[in-house]
Amino acid sequence: MSDHGDRSPAREFAALARGSTRLAVVGATGAVGREVLAILADLGVEGGRVRAFASSVDSGPTIRVGSLELPVVALPEDSGEIATALNDVDVVIGAADAVTAARVREPAERVGCVFVDNSSAFRLDPSVPLVVPEVNPEDLDGACTVASPNCSAILLATALEPLRRSFGIERVVVATYQAVSGAGFAAIAELERQSRAVLDGHPVRPSVFPELCAFNVFAHESEVDGDGHNVEERKIVEEIRRIWRAPDARIAPTCVRVPVRRAHSQAITVELGRPALEADVRAALTAGQGIEIVDDRDERRFPTPLRASGGDTVLVGRIRRAADARVEGGGGATRDFALFVCTDQLRKGAARNALQIAARLLAAR
């Protein structure tokens, strides 16, 4: 485990945990919103300090996550009413869709809230920082509204950051293995329902995804452009370039859904900026923030989505010279390396990343 010493949850989230901080979660009944509440519950935040907004109260008048039991409030349509509802709130975590996020931003800023949003609404907006705290925390400086990146971009950026800092990066080729919960709460139920139906020999009709998700693997369901890239692949490229401030960074993703409940995986092949020994690459990753090395070749113990589920770190393993590595210089140094990484995308890929940002912004006020 190499999450830096002063980054224990208690310290990292101290500004959120203190008794005077009031929080709101917009989209509290969804997959990401529930995870935000779970982290707040683990921090000991009392229910009286948290407001839970959803589209309506149809899914229940209250939501219970861990020790928190909160009334669910329908987010008002009107901007003035949203401002009134957020009047005494310090931090708003956006865990709904992009249209809802766009409605919340202005009233949240008007009443002086920190607004950290998980949707795609502001990720490419130059007036809004796009931040992974382990990678570009300096971009938070003075911000009120901050975007948390796409979950696959967060995983890739966090895993590669130690290599980018130590050796530079020329090119990344990445294949994703994305959990169904990346498509929201309804997708988890769909995987469970379909799995039972297939095993029982009943007919199955997909609803959340265009393909069967049980016992299947398929290209990411987002729209495909004229060049054949889907939206998820475009997001990874554009967001990583923005986070790295490297508009020409070479990143080639292929995004795929797999029948996993939670935690995304990625097979990464990276070309470094300069040749390195495998031992140096391993040492850099071991010292990286938010990373846990799981790489036991003898026991064949490597990252898996199940190992990553519910955790807060990026699991990194299968660290090796690429099979086609070009050796440069003495001792077998090369620029070509391969990794396999997993993280719980509902935690580090969304809820945790957003709360890390919120805690830093609040602490700096």
Ligand X SMILES: NC(=O)c1ccc[n+]([C@@H]2O[C@H](COP(=O)([O-])OP(=O)(O)OC[C@H]3O[C@@H](n4cnc5c(N)ncnc54)[C@H](OP(=O)(O)O)[C@@H]3O)[C@@H](O)[C@H]2O)c1
Structure tokens at 217: 């693997």
Residues 6+ apart with CB under 8 A from 268: 156, 159, 160, 172, 173, 174, 338, 339, 340, 341
Query: Least CB distance from residue 182 to ligand X, whole Å?
Result: 4
Query: Least CB distance from residue 31 to ligand X, whole Å?
Result: 4
3-state secondary structure of 84: helix
Are 342 and 305 in contact by the 8 Å Cβ rule? The answer is yes
Give CA 302 to chain center in angstroms. Answer: 21
Query: Least CB distance from residue 270 to ligand X, whole Å?
Result: 23
Query: Least CB distance from residue 148 to ligand X, whole Å?
Result: 7
Specify the residue, 96 or 213, whose C-beta has the smaller distance to ligand X.
96
Q: How far apart are alpha carbons 113 and 250 in whole angstroms?
A: 36
Q: Pattern 288-327, binding to ligand X, x per CB under 6 A?
A: ----------------------------------------
Question: Interface with ligand X includes 26 (CB under 6 A)?
Answer: yes
3-23 in b/e burial notation, b at 16+ Cβ within 10 A?
beeeeebeebbebbbeeebbb
Question: Interface with ligand X includes 37 (CB under 6 A)?
Answer: no
Q: How would DSSP label each residue in 230-278?
A: BHHHHHHHHHHHHHHT-TT-EEEEE-EE-S-SS-EEEEEEEEEEEEE-H
Q: Pattern 81-120, binding to ligand X, x per CB under 6 A?
A: --------------xxx--x-----------------xx-
- Interface residue with ligand X among 55, 136, 195, 286 (CB under 6 A) is 55
Specify the residue, 73 or 333, whose C-beta has the smaller distance to ligand X.
73
Structure tokens at 363: 């602490």
Question: In the bound complex, which residue of the shown chain has the CB atom lying closest to ligand X?
Answer: 30
Question: Interface with ligand X includes 345 (CB under 6 A)?
Answer: yes
Are 113 and 104 in contact by the 8 Å Cβ rule? The answer is no
Question: Interface with ligand X includes 357 (CB under 6 A)?
Answer: no
- Interface residue with ligand X among 15, 16, 93, 151 (CB under 6 A) is 151
Specify the residue, 182 or 317, whose C-beta has the smaller distance to ligand X.
182
* Catalytic status, residue 4: no
Q: How far apart are alpha carbons 281 and 129 in whole angstroms?
A: 29
Question: Interface with ligand X includes 59 (CB under 6 A)?
Answer: yes
Residue in 151, 213, 255, 342 annotated catalytic = 151
Sheet holding 145-147, edge to edge: 62-65, 68-74, 50-54, 23-26, 91-94, 114-117, 145-147
Residue positions annotated with a catalytic role = 151, 264
Residues that bind ligand X (CB under 6 A): 26-33, 53-56, 59, 75, 95-97, 100, 118-119, 151, 181-182, 184-185, 345-346, 349-350
